[in-house]
Amino acid sequence: MLASSGLFFRLFFAMTTPLLLSACGDSSWQHDEFQTGSDSDYDFRIPSHIPKPFVPENNPITQEKVELGRHLFFDTRLSGNQTQSCAGCHFPELGFADGIALPTGSTGEQLARNSQGLLNVAYNSTFTWGNHSLTDLETQHAVPLFGEFPVELGVNDSNKAEILLRLTQDPEYQKLISAAYPDKSDLNYQQISQALASFIRSMVSFNTPYDRYEAGDSTALTDSQKRGMDLFFSERTECFHCHGGFNFSQSTRHSKTVFFEAPFFNNGLYNLDGNGSYPAENQGLFELTGKASDKGKFRPVSLRNIEVTAPYMHDGSIATLEAVIEHYAAGGRAPTTVNGQATGDGRLNPNKSGFVGGFELSNQEKTDLINFLKSLTDDSFNKDERFANPYE
């Protein structure tokens, strides 16, 4: 009965959330299908009731391309100074997050935003924390590869030819490139982006205690987790409004999507000037739209693997799940300091989502809710050899 009730809430609110977003004043970008997808026969190893990820028609996924992407993902030679790889900010054992608040790039510059876990990123409707225009992984990779402010991997005009030589002169890469692109004899950055996207797109799994419970195993969740699930999908906490659907994020796109919503929310972390401002280098969607009402609005991440991807929020400023629950229970962050900067009263942020209104829970209920979130951990994914470092 609990599983059926939970499934009803998830299906109902997945359909009605776009209307609710408008009612609460949150930014939700609707994208018509401007890019066609392929009906991929790649084996994502997912249950039959879960739709496959969206795969762009101009980059069909193959096992050979995934394998090339896996090698590139873990290869420090892909950075300008050969000191860092994509895996430098995405560790397999941490769900491909990195366990720190803010990462640093290959030249030592600190990034402004927390490294997200990569489980089921293939289902995102947009990519990165605060960009509504990045709607495919292939385009998103230009940010870590070529970004200058700050530098991440540090590929630029002065070294990009040298980087390609490092890779293409390696006999192992020659085999990988020939297998992935049999009609090509060289490697370019478009192919690098396509291969990286294919590898990350293959990082799909639905093998958590919660998934097993939904599939009919009544023993997969503890009594505490079942109570926490009811709280999660209740109007008391309103967690599901931003983190609903099969991937626990309203920012979801898949192979059957006709058009997709790209929601962004302000959850009351900051209010520097009393008028909704966030730190200058981290204003969210506002940085692209220039709309004052978009200050502090960020994409809701999937909660899958949330237990192992701490710290939390776009700036990594909340260390534990317990503190996350306290934040939402308070309806935002009370005045404090983060990295020596006063936050202001986030609870009074004028752009704050209507879903972040605060709630009261007993200590046991907080424990139950956290235990449910832990049921979204996929240990098999975090140890899966398909996604492991090929150089170890």
In sequence order, the 6+-apart residues with CB closer than 8 A to the CB of 373 are 228, 232, 303, 306, 307, 321
Whether domain 2-32+209-376 has CATH 1.10.760.10: yes
Q: Tokens in use for 319?
A: 């260390």
d(CA 283, CA 270): 10
Task: Judge whether 47 and 26 are in contact, CB under 8 Å.
Answer: no
One-letter amino acid of 156: N
Q: Tokens in use for 39?
A: 């009906």
Query: Dihedral of CA 243/282/339/348: which sign?
Result: negative
Please name the residue ranges forming H helices in the chain.
Answer: 2-24, 63-73, 137-140, 142-146, 160-168, 171-180, 189-201, 209-214, 223-232, 286-289, 321-329, 363-374, 379-382
Q: Where in the chain is the domain with CATH 1.10.760.10?
A: 2-32+209-376, 63-204
| 23 to 7, 54, 241, 252, 355: CA distances (angstroms) | 24, 29, 12, 20, 10
Pairs from 83-90 (Cβ < 8 Å, separation ≥ 24): 84/152, 84/153, 85/153, 86/144, 86/153, 86/196, 87/389, 89/115, 89/152, 90/115, 90/117, 90/118
Residue 259: phi and psi, rounded to 5, are -135, 160
One-letter amino acid of 64: E
What's the pTM value of the predicted model, to 2 decimals?
0.92
d(CA 304, CA 384): 16
User: Maximum Cα–Cα distance for the chain, whole Å?
Assistant: 63
Architecture of domain 63-204: Orthogonal Bundle (1.10)
HSE value, Cβ hemisphere, 13 Å, CA-based, for 223: 1
| 83 to 71, 111, 344: CA distances (angstroms) | 15, 16, 38
Full pLDDT tens readout for the chain, 392 residues? 334 334 433 433 343 344 444 444 588 877 765 566 666 789 999 999 999 999 999 999 999 999 999 999 999 999 999 999 999 999 999 999 999 999 999 999 999 999 999 999 999 999 999 999 999 999 999 999 999 999 999 999 999 999 999 999 999 999 999 999 998 778 999 999 999 999 999 999 999 999 999 999 999 999 999 999 999 999 999 999 999 999 999 999 999 988 888 999 999 999 999 999 999 989 999 999 999 999 999 999 999 999 999 999 999 999 999 999 999 999 999 999 998 999 999 999 999 999 999 999 999 999 999 999 999 999 999 999 999 999 99
